[in-house]
Structure 1
Amino acid sequence: MTPQFDYITRRRFNFIELIIHWEGRLTTNHLQKHFAISRSSASNIIQDYIQFYPQSLRYNSSLKGYEATKDFSPCLIDLDLTAYLKLANQGEDTLTWQQFTWLSSPLISIEPHKIRGVLRALNQGLRVDVGYASVSSPEFESRIISPHNLIFDGMRWHVRAYCEKNSGFRDFVLTRFNGECEFEGGAQYDQSHDTLWQTQLTVVIEPDPRLTPERAHIIALDHQMTKQPNGRYQRKITVRAALLLYLLKQLHLDSYQTKPEAQQIILSPTCLEALKPYMAW
């Protein structure tokens, strides 16, 4: 069980794990620069971490720093590379290198006044009457919704909410709110009532069968697929049914390419059949 740390301690230990996990070497200089602290304070933080996780780090004199032992297992961090790159992007000289480029979505900028009411509704469990425009209804019209989650699909922000007009849960693009809203009391529906949100699906991807074995192997490496007993490469991804279409778009599985080199991956035939009820575009 992970100990319950206060905010400051958790932030420091999180930093230690990110550095060790991705760079393989931790020095007091890492902490000094990132937290603007003295060498002795940085050393004390490392020793505090080792006290909680005594088998995780060891000092390597040849490296002039700490390295992970074979028993090191990060407990506090997201193991995705994105978390490390975000940390590297905070301030000057956060880490020992800055040779990466972060391509942000050009569509994620949201005007605060458009969603303040939605954010309050999320925080306080409220129904909110908002003006909303869609492609099918381009004129702003009143919608009474009960939001329960914000979603970033890789390009745009959405809010998942119960819509009283449609008598069901829908996703609303945040940029399409006009910011004028009224609160209508407590929400009667939350995420526990959202069947698609509560339903977990398994997405199985594999290389396009039209690819040569050599190219299929490269695609398998790109997507962290493993070889199955039948000789096919596959990877399983768990996703909420409400988010399935966003995942398929990220994987470029929302359309079919005539050239296998462009398609690269497909849903396994069994998976495709199982997901069809959830794939209405």
Structure 2
Amino acid sequence: MTPHLDYITRKRFHFIELIVQWEGRLTTNHLQQHFAISRSSASSIIQDYLQVFPQSLSYNASLKGYEASSGFMPSLNDLDLNIYLKLAYQSPATCNVEYFTCLNSPLSNISPSKVRGVLQALSAKMRVDVGYASVASPEFESRIISPHNLVYDGMRWHVRAYCEKNRDFRDFVLTRFNGEYEFEGEAQYDQTHDTLWQTQLDVVIEPDPRLTPERAHIIALDHQMTKQANGRYQRTISVRAALLLYLLKQLHLDSYQIKPEAQQIILSPECTAALQPYIAW
């Protein structure tokens, strides 16, 4: 169980775990450069970390730094590679970004004016009246919504909210909001009332069965699948039902390709049947 840590300590410990996870070697210089502190302060932070997580790191004299021990178990925030790469861009003196290239979504840059009202509504748990247009209704019209989450699907930002017009929870594309946000009092609905948000689904993917065994094995490696008792390579991904369609689009499972080399992966037949009530293309 992770002990309670103050914000600054947690931030420093998270940095330590990111470096160890992805670079395999931590030195005081990492902390000196990133936090603009002295060598003695950096050394103290590492010792503080070792006091809290004594089984995580060991000093390797030949590497002149700390490395993950056999008992290393990341204890703090997400250590995803994307988080490390963002850290690298923020701190090029700490992490060499010369060989890193990141293709950002061309649709992800949003005007701050469209975000502020949503963030205020989320923070204060308020209903908000705002103009909104959709492909079905291209004219901007007033919508009173109760937002409960901002969602990034890998390409675009959405607002998950209760819509008083439709009397249901819907996804609203953030770029389609227009005009000033007007607050309409306390929200009566939040994420606990959103059935699809609260429902967790298992998405089971496997190589396209039309592929040769050799090619299927490569696809399994690409998608971090493991061989199951049934002899098939599979991977299970947990997702909220409200976000299912976004995940399927990310995996290119929202369409079927004629060539198996283009399709690469499919939903397992059992999964396809289980997800049918949640899929409406």
Please tell me the TM-score bracket, short chain as reference. Answer: over 0.9
Structure 2 unmatched ranges of 5 or more: none
**What displacement does 1:116 show?**
2.1
Q: Residue deviations 1:220-262, cap 9 Å, x none?
A: 0111111111211011111000000000000000000000000
1:204–1:267 contact (8 Å) kept in structure 2: yes
What RMSD, in angstroms, separates the aligned Cα atoms of the two structures?
1.0
Matched, 1:210 2:210: yes
Match of 1:37 in 2: 37
1:115–1:177 contact (8 Å) kept in structure 2: no
Percent identity of equivalent pairs = 79
Match of 2:54 in 1: 54
Match of 1:77 in 2: 77
Q: Hey, what's the Cα distance between the residues in 1 that align with 2:227 and 2:70? A: 26
Q: Hey, what's the Cα distance between the residues in 1 that align with 2:98 and 2:3? A: 33
Q: Hey, what's the Cα distance between the residues in 2 that align with 1:22 and 1:170? A: 38
Q: Hey, what's the Cα distance between the residues in 2 that align with 1:183 and 1:39? A: 50
**What displacement does 1:96 show?**
4.1
Match of 1:17 in 2: 17
- How many residue pairs get matched? 281
Match of 1:108 in 2: 108
Match of 1:164 in 2: 164
1:204–1:236 contact (8 Å) kept in structure 2: yes
Match of 1:200 in 2: 200
1:147–1:160 contact (8 Å) kept in structure 2: yes
1:88–1:98 contact (8 Å) kept in structure 2: no
Match of 1:94 in 2: 94
Match of 1:251 in 2: 251
3-state SS in 2 of match to 1:256: coil
Q: Hey, what's the Cα distance between the residues in 2 that align with 1:27 and 1:110? A: 38
3-state SS in 2 of match to 1:142: strand
Q: Residue deviations 1:78-104, cap 9 Å, x none?
A: 132111111111033121453110111
Q: Hey, what's the Cα distance between the residues in 1 that align with 2:121 and 2:54? A: 44
Scaled by the length of structure 2, what TM-score is found?
Answer: 0.98
Q: Hey, what's the Cα distance between the residues in 2 that align with 1:222 and 1:61? A: 35
Q: Hey, what's the Cα distance between the residues in 1 that align with 2:14 and 2:95? A: 14
3-state SS in 1 of match to 2:280: coil
Match of 2:117 in 1: 117
Tell me which moved more, 228-237 or 74-83.
74-83
Scaled by the length of structure 1, what TM-score is found?
Answer: 0.98
1:17–1:77 contact (8 Å) kept in structure 2: no
**What displacement does 1:36 show?**
0.8
Q: Hey, what's the Cα distance between the residues in 2 that align with 1:36 and 1:242? A: 43
Q: Hey, what's the Cα distance between the residues in 2 that align with 1:85 and 1:157? A: 21
**What displacement does 1:189 show?**
0.7
C-alpha spacing 1:24/1:115, structure 2 compared with 1 (3 Å): closer
Structure 1 unmatched ranges of 5 or more: none
3-state SS in 2 of match to 1:48: helix
Match of 1:234 in 2: 234
**What displacement does 1:181 show?**
2.3
